[in-house]
Amino acid sequence: MEIITDISQPLALPRPVVTIGTFDGVHRGHQAILHKMKEIAAGCNGSPVVVTFHPHPRLVLGQHVYLLSTREEKRVAFAESGVAHLIEIPFTREFAKLSAEEFIQLIAQKIRPEVLVIGYDHGFGRDRSGSIEHLFHFGNTLGFKVVQVEELIVDRHHVSSSVIRWLLQEGDAGEAARLLGREYSISGQVIRGNQIGKLIGYPTANLYVDDPDKLIPSMGVYASRVICRGKLYNGMTNIGMRPTINAHKLTIETNIFGFDDDIYYETITVKLVKRIRNEKKFGNLDILKNQLRNDQQTALEILGGSV
Ligand SMILES: Cc1cc2nc3c(=O)[nH]c(=O)nc-3n(C[C@H](O)[C@H](O)[C@H](O)COP(=O)(O)O)c2cc1C
Ligand SMILES: Nc1ncnc2c1ncn2[C@@H]1O[C@H](COP(=O)(O)OP(=O)(O)O)[C@@H](O)[C@H]1O
């Protein structure tokens, strides 16, 4: 996948079939759009092109939001979905001032789309004032076809980035995964903790998350899967303050099943499968250790397999 971050000059992409959006999470609704785009591109010997923005427009416009995907995660999701060219427009306050018409003219001049595939609620240009009706109109005058993709509903939820954010902030990792089309994942470097994990027989890899805007789901204990050194393991993850050891900082820590090695400063990815319970304050480390044994059992029932 080619990544383009400069559209000051016209691009010469072969028969571009284009979609435009912020695509936070690259969830099942987004995937339906990407699928349609690829299908159309395959039918006309065209190339699937995604136009997105970085940083996320809401962050630039001062409406803070915790995001489902980092820039890198979004890139990986697009590449895996078969996108040929990814155009990441640097989003600035200046850029946000473009009217709907100016924005679409810019896209038409620099990218020359043959087809524009768009979601059901797409708003573009200043204050998202451009609607799908505008697009059909501009398509006619600027010479591209517009295809709209229907809204996707999964388990009675409208699939949208904000619904998935809400589910994760409620701790419902299972339902979030259904809407995302994959488990919600967090990647980071393994850092040192208080060395209590090994002492009680459950070493935990503590994650340092580099991106301050990455959404951290609600505190609690989760059944998880872990990518470590290129392999997938079962595990259990605690997101919390660890009241039992009187710690005061939010940590994300994972006991990886069937694994025993030093992975300090290595990067791992934790995929949250399902929430097991709330974090609690236990009277002593022995009681916590018993609880961890039960958690491991519960996690294995959810994940299937053995330690
Ligand atoms: C699956 C799991 C569940 C946990 N649940 C709790 C909990 O309910 N309460 C708590 O205080 N700490 C909990 N912890 C955190 C432990 O206190 C922590 O792993 C231990 O203090 C080791 O910390 P260290 O990695 O800094 O050495 C949990 C950890 C894991 C992996
Ligand atoms: N099965 C495992 N799961 C997680 N970490 C493991 C495992 N086996 C070994 N380790 C190593 O042990 C470290 C965690 O041990 P722990 O005593 O909890 O130390 P810390 O307090 O520094 O996290 C991890 O960072 C990793 O390097």
pLDDT tens digit string along 142-185?
Answer: 999 999 999 899 998 899 999 999 999 999 999 999 999 999 99
Provide the pLDDT for residue 125: 73
CB atoms within 10 A of CB 239: 23
Question: Does residue 124 surpass a pLDDT of 80?
Answer: no
Provide the pLDDT for residue 47: 97
Dump pLDDT digits (tens) for 283-300. Answer: 999 999 999 999 999 999
Provide the pLDDT for residue 130: 77
In the chain the domains, ranked by start, together with CATH numbers, are: 2-6+13-154 (3.40.50.620), 183-303 (2.40.30.30)
Take atom 17 of ligand 1 and give the residue whose Cα is closest.
Answer: 242
Q: Calculate mean pLDDT across residues 180-200.
A: 96
Which residues have C-beta within 8 Å of that of residue 241, sequence separation ≥ 6?
219, 247, 248, 249, 250, 251, 279
Take atom 29 of ligand 1 and give the residue whose Cα is closest.
Answer: 238
Dump pLDDT digits (tens) for 28-67. Answer: 999 999 999 999 999 999 999 999 999 999 999 999 999 9
Of ligand 2's listed atoms, the one at least distance from the Cα of 259 is 1
Please give all residues whose beta carbon lies within 6 A of any atom in ligand 2, as ranges. Answer: 190, 192-195, 197-198, 203-206, 255-256, 259-264
Please give all residues whose beta carbon lies within 6 A of any atom in ligand 1, as ranges. Answer: 193-197, 202, 204, 206, 221, 236, 238, 242-245, 253, 255, 279-281, 288, 292, 295
Dump pLDDT digits (tens) for 63-115. Answer: 999 999 999 999 999 999 999 999 999 999 999 999 989 999 999 999 999 99
Cα-to-centroid distance, 22 and ligand 1 (Å): 36
Question: Does residue 127 surpass a pLDDT of 90?
Answer: no
